[in-house]
Amino acid sequence: MEKVLSARKTKIQPNKQVKSSEKTIFQRVTLGILYVLLVLVAVVQVLPLLWLLLFSLKDNQEVFNLPAFALPTSPKWENYAKVWTEGNISLYFFNSVWITAAAVILTVLLASFVTYAITRMNWKLKKPVLGLFMVGLMIPVHSTLIPLFSFFTNINLMDHPLAIILTYTAFNLPLTMMILLGFYYTLPREVEEAAIMDGCSIHRMFFQIILPMTAPVVATTAIINMIYNWNEFIFVNTFISSDQYKTLTVGIQNFIGQYSTDWGAIGATLMISIIPILLAFFVLSNRIVEGITAGSVKG
């Protein structure tokens, strides 16, 4: 009997080892394929940036005569100095910074107020109000240009940065609220109950307790809003006509003439406009993932 059992064990053990080795080989092959795909995606993402950097260091003759990824004969770093001083890019850059910052702060604050009221307070119209905000996700941007143009003309806000800030805020509120909602629903109510027992007012509770607790998701929404506002072109081109309030995305048109175009200067301007977004993404990329996944698991 013992011999039979031992024989069965010896027959079973090699089968288990074969299966485990097959699993490890399959896992290694799968990981290898995944890494290869990720490397290909990374290369596809990086190549346009490399091309743009080389493009910005060439003059018009090299742009048309040299291959796309060929190194310039002598790098034209003066393209950057030219666009910063002669092309008014310094003014457009600072306009982009302060308009983006103002719109992001206003959007995040308003979205936090509304989300807190919808998720933590009991009032009759909170579901219709939430639905009204979510409808904003389905409104195409281009369909609002003419109504907004007419509205801002009637209230004398055309060619004023406030028109851009209000437009960015209105269009970014639905998405910002949608990201905040999942996180607010997971916040423990015991913290608020303890604060109320200690005599904390609702405004103090929000600014000193709730807002610090939602810092990860607030940072995520701020980054997403910043990227959208920084790269936006249609609204600025429609509502702003004077150079005093133009942003980087519209200021690039200064280097496009009727008879000649300074392509190297355009490339330098594009590189200047991309660098802040790249820095923000590399520094705060972990915040983006953390904030998006923060409200996905309850408890």
* This prediction's pTM: 0.79
Q: How far apart are CA 223 and CA 211, in angstroms?
A: 17
The pLDDT of residue 299: 44
Nearest partner of 295 among 198, 148, 183, 206, judged by Cα: 183
Angle, helix 263-294 to helix 89-120, in steps of 10 degrees: 20
* Residue burial 3-41, b: 16+ Cβ < 10 Å; e: rest: eeeeeeeeeeeeeeeeeeeeeeeeeeeeeeeeeeeeeee
Close Cβ partners of 12 (under 8 Å, ≥ 6 residues apart): none
Low-confidence ranges of the chain (pLDDT < 50): 4-5, 9, 12, 259, 297-299
Q: What is the distance between the alpha carbons of residues 172 and 236, in angstroms, rounded to a whole number?
A: 15
Which pLDDT value is given to residue 291? 57
Residues in a beta bridge with 261: 256
**Joined tokens for residue 125:** 């119209």
DSSP-based three-state secondary structure for 158 = coil
Give whole-number Cα distances, 211 to 35, 214, 280, 291, in Å.
39, 5, 22, 14
pLDDT tens digits, 145-181: 999 999 999 999 999 999 999 999 999 999 999 989 8
Q: Give the Cα separation of 164 and 232 in Å (integer).
A: 10
Closest residue by Cα to residue 263 from 48, 49, 61:
61
Task: Note the pLDDT of residue 276.
Answer: 84
